[in-house]
Amino acid sequence: MWAQVTQQPWNTLFRCDSGALRAIGRPPAAGLDSTWPRVHTGIPVKFHSAKSRGAPPLTERALEAVRQWLLDGQLVPGRIVSEADLARRLRMSRTPVGEALRQLVREGLMEQVPRVGTRVRAIERGELQDLYEMREALEAWAAERAAARIAERDLTCLRARLAEMQRLARHVPRANGAALRSTALRRFLEADLAFHRRILAAAGNRAVLRAVDDSRALPRLFQIRRQRHDRSVLDETIRQHREILEALSARNGPRAAAAMRAHVSASLAAALAAWDRDAIETAATISEFAP
């Protein structure tokens, strides 16, 4: 059973039952072109609620679809997005698709290029660093605040998300360069995101939750496409989340803040290293084909 976020208590953002992670949100969009992926993956990928802003249902459905195609890599950085093509694939008129694209431009996921059209944005190194540094400050504050007020049901949810991350990591061999990919990687990142959002919700500050959600858009796309999640990376990520959970369970605010700060800082270092590797590979490719 699906429900709208606004119909639930504010800090009840995710169901923490024994099944798969489920976000409270809209149901899967119907009627999509069969050659494109389904929209809903059980993770809230939007960073501003189109419905709460009065957007028509078709515009909201177009937003959900395009956001998911961005996450799935169907729409890659630098690609020019055709409003007419999207409308055909979504089997709707161009009006709601155009509104959806303008909303994505406002969110920073796309950009309007004069005499070219709407293009999927790439993230710059400095922007990546700025967004992670903002997350570090806000999430450390939220973790310290949450430690004093977090409910047992929140801790149960955090334990479930950590257990899901551990379950997925166990399937990755420690040797031979194996890494999480595709659906397994998405599920790991879903559990990671749910863990963080539960803490933000427990802190009880809507503005901070919204700001952190907004800051995750481009880095999350970059993380899915470029960062390698081998067993050592997964184990370290799980260890960091366990330290945060232990501090919250002990109601130790300063310790929770320090653990969260260290975790986000480590994520920043990994993201910047991946960005640098990608830049080097891109430069090498351009050089190889240069006249």
Instruction: Compute CA distances 182 → 42, 54, 64, whole Å.
Output: 15, 34, 19
Quick one: 272 and 212 in the same domain?
Answer: yes
Q: Which domain holds residue 109?
A: 5-120
Q: Are 256 and 207 in contact (CB under 8 A)?
A: no
* Whether the predicted pLDDT of 152 surpasses 90: yes
Domain boundary among the residues 72, 87, 120 is at: 120
83 confidence band (pLDDT: 50, 70, 90): very high
How long is the chain? Answer: 291
Residue 42 pLDDT > 60: no
Q: Does one domain contain both 162 and 33?
A: no
Give the burial class of 71: count Cβ atoms within 10 A of its Cβ; 0-12 exposed, 13-18 middle, 19 or more buried: buried
Does residue 199 or residue 46 have the better pLDDT?
A: 199
- pLDDT for the residue 174: 86
Tokens of 255: 């310790």
Q: Is the pLDDT of residue 64 over 90?
A: no
β-pair partners for 81: 118
How many domains are there within the chain?
2
| Structure confidence at residue 214 (pLDDT) | 81
Whether 274 and 130 map to the same domain: the answer is yes
Query: Residue 104 is part of a domain; what is its CATH number?
Result: 1.10.10.10
Q: How far apart are alpha carbons 65 and 71 in whole angstroms?
A: 10
Q: Global pTM? A: 0.72
Helix (H, G, I), strand (E, B) or coil at 37: coil
The domain boundary residue, chosen from 84, 99, 120 = 120
Which residue, 120, 144, 170, sits at the end of a domain?
120
Give me the residue label for tokens 């089997």.
91
Is there a single domain that holds both residue 156 and residue 197? yes
Domain match, 136 and 245 both:
yes
What is the Cα gyration radius of the chain?
A: 19
- 182, two tokens: 């595709």
Distance CA 152, CA 158 (A): 10
* Mean pLDDT (whole number) for 183-204: 93
E strand or H helix at 36, and its extent? none
- 145 and 241 share a domain? yes
- Give, for 80, the enclosing helix (H) or strand (E): strand 80-81
The tens digit of pLDDT for each residue in 231-269 reads 999 999 999 999 999 999 999 999 999 999 999 999 999
Cα–Cα dist 220/71, whole Å: 8
Please name the helix (run of DSSP H) or strand (run of DSSP E) that holds residue 251, with its range, or none: none
pLDDT band at 166 (very low <50, low <70, confident <90, very high): very high
Phi, psi of 39 (to 5 degrees): -80, -45
Average pLDDT, the chain: 79
Highest mean pLDDT: which range of 43-57, 133-147, 169-183:
133-147
One domain, residues 186 and 153: yes
Are 15 and 22 a contacting pair, CB within 8 Å? yes
Give yes or no for residue 40 having a pLDDT over 90.
Answer: no
Q: Between these two residues, 46 and 60, which has the higher pLDDT value? A: 60
Do 15 and 24 touch, CB atoms closer than 8 A? yes
Average pLDDT over residues 92-96: 95
* Per-residue model confidence as pLDDT tens digits over 2-38: 233 233 343 444 456 433 344 333 333 333 333 333 3
Structure tokens at 53: 């802003």
3-class secondary structure, 15: strand
